[in-house]
């Protein structure tokens, strides 16, 4: 099987589950940002709890190597904030915009086109960012347990408890 | 706890947990089949899509651009994954009757009215800003959020905090206004 077919199958399953979880919609995404409807956080954190157990198990037995993205402080904080502002206006993230079009919410097409244009603009600005923001402060490809100098399993256990506690609050408040 | 919700969807905890399983299976499958470990992500594909579109107009420019060279303009595993999201969502929506053509999202309409043009302009601008941010941060809620937090990456926690923190601030300002 080639990588394109594998990607397509994985994407179809991912899109199917995103739609079943009802997390693709503009109203769900903006609903979470307004703390009115936490469906996307329930969905995401559930995936993360299951995923971190599996991914760290696979890493412990030496089957895979983790691929942390670099903690380039300026780039992550500035880029993350820009993304947050744009996300609030468009109400989709890159992956969910295509899923939203798939479930008939075709207005997500405008967000999709904007994001393709944004990627093209970024490609032109890359030399500028490379000589400025990226040079400020880079902590490298580091994980939270590495930063804390502890084993990863207690961190996984602690975070799982925090995430489950959040679920408890969401359900209690019915959001 | 019920698996099915009132509108025919699935409980978000259940559907989310299955995405966790999918993420693990995908990590195993890409490692075995492609010989390299891939985590779920989406935003790099937008760079490649922009590159493919620009290649039709200004091919030499794309060839010379440092960022396109770095990310490589091609239809790869992630590109097909993103296309797959569209198909999977379509299959799911049609099969449970939740497919609905919509020109303006309800929450937006309540605040800014029915104009599809107004919505289109703002959504496009929001998309431009968000994608510049996602590329600068090197990831989106899939790559940094889902895959980053699964791996306990420091950058994932920082990025998601910015995504959601600034998103919440902006959303309160945009959709609630000062009056409410």
Question: Sorting pLDDT into bands at 50, 70 and 90, what band is B5?
Answer: confident
Query: Does residue B140 surpass a pLDDT of 60?
Result: yes
Q: Cα angle vertex A102, ends A9, A85, to 5°?
A: 105
CA-CA distance, A95 to A98, in Å (whole number)? 6
Handedness of CA A118, B123, B146, A19 (dihedral sign): negative
pLDDT at B179: 41
Is B88 close to A87, i.e. CB distance below 8 A? no
Do B94 and B148 fall into the same domain?
no
Do B31 and B41 fall into the same domain?
yes
pLDDT tens for each residue of A10-23: 999 999 999 999 99
pLDDT at B4: 85
Query: Does residue B178 surpass a pLDDT of 60?
Result: no
CA-CA distance, A98 to A170, in Å (whole number)? 28
Is B89 close to A99, i.e. CB distance below 8 A? yes
CA-CA distance, A88 to B111, in Å (whole number)? 14
First-last CA distance in chain B: 34
Domain containing B78: what range? 1-101
Interface of B with A in 20-59 (CB under 8 A): 20-24, 26-31, 33-34, 37, 39-40, 42-43, 45-47, 49-51, 53-54
Q: Are B98 and B7 in contact (CB under 8 A)?
A: yes
Do B90 and B6 fall into the same domain?
yes
Do B145 and B93 fall into the same domain?
no
* Residue B76 tokens, joined: 């790869």
Average pLDDT over residues B103-123: 94
pLDDT tens for each residue of B26-41: 999 999 999 999 999 9
Do B109 and B97 fall into the same domain?
no
Number of structural domains in chain B = 2
Do B62 and B109 fall into the same domain?
no
Average pLDDT over residues B151-178: 92
Do B95 and B107 fall into the same domain?
no
Query: Does residue B177 surpass a pLDDT of 90?
Result: no
Do B58 and B69 fall into the same domain?
yes
Question: Sorting pLDDT into bands at 50, 70 and 90, what band is B2?
Answer: confident
Do B83 and B93 fall into the same domain?
yes
Q: Quickly count: other Cβ atoms within 10 Å of residue A5's Cβ.
A: 13
CB nearest to A104's CB, from B51, B79, B99: B99
For chain B, the average pLDDT equals 93
Query: Does residue A1 surpass a pLDDT of 80?
Result: no
CA-CA distance, A63 to B37, in Å (whole number)? 10
pLDDT at B180: 43
Which of B75, B101, B127 is the last residue before a domain boundary? B101
The domain ranges of chain A are 3-172
Which of B101, B129, B147 is the last residue before a domain boundary? B101
Query: Does residue A160 surpass a pLDDT of 90?
Result: yes
CA-CA distance, B144 to A166, in Å (whole number)? 20
Residue A3: list chain B partners with CB under 8 A: 30, 33-34, 76-77, 80
Do B173 and B122 fall into the same domain?
yes
Contacts (Cβ under 8 Å, ≥6 apart) of B8: B96, B97, B98
């Amino acid at each position: 099987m080639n990588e394109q077919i594998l990607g397509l199958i994985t994407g179809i399953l991912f899109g199917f589950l995103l739609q079943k979880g009802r997390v693709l919609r503009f109203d769900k995404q903006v609903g979470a940002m307004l703390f009115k409807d936490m469906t996307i956080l329930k969905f995401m954190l559930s995936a993360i709890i299951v995923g971190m157990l599996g991914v760290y198990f696979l890493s412990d037995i030496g089957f895979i190597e983790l691929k942390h993205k670099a903690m380039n402080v300026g780039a992550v904080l500035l880029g993350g904030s820009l993304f947050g502002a744009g996300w609030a206006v468009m109400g989709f993230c890159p992956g969910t915009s295509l899923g939203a079009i798939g479930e008939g919410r075709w207005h997500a097409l405008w967000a999709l086109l904007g994001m393709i244009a944004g990627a093209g603009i970024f490609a032109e600005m890359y030399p500028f960012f490379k000589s400025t923001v990226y040079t400020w402060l880079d902590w490298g490809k580091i994980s939270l347990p590495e930063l804390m100098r502890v084993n990863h399993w207690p961190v996984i256990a602690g975070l799982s408890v925090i995430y489950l506690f959040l679920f408890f609050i969401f359900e209690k408040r019915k959001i | 706890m019920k698996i099915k919700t009132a509108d025919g969807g699935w409980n978000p905890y259940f559907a989310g947990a299955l995405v966790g399983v999918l993420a693990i299976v995908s990590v195993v499958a890409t490692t075995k089949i492609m010989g390299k470990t891939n985590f779920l992500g989406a935003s790099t594909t937008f760079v490649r899509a922009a590159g493919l579109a620009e290649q039709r107009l200004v091919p030499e420019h794309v060839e010379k651009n440092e960022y396109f060279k770095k990310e490589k303009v091609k239809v790869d595993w992630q590109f097909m994954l993103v296309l797959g999201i569209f198909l999977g969502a379509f299959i799911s929506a049609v099969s449970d009757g939740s497919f609905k053509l919509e020109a303006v999202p309800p929450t937006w309409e309540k605040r800014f009215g029915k104009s599809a043009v107004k919505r289109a302009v703002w959504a496009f601008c929001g998309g431009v800003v968000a994608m510049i941010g996602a590329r600068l941060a090197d990831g989106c809620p899939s790559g940094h959020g889902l895959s980053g937090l699964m791996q306990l990456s420091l950058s994932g926690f920082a990025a998601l905090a910015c995504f959601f923190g600034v998103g919440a601030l902006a959303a309160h300002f945009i959709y609630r206004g000062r009056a409410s």
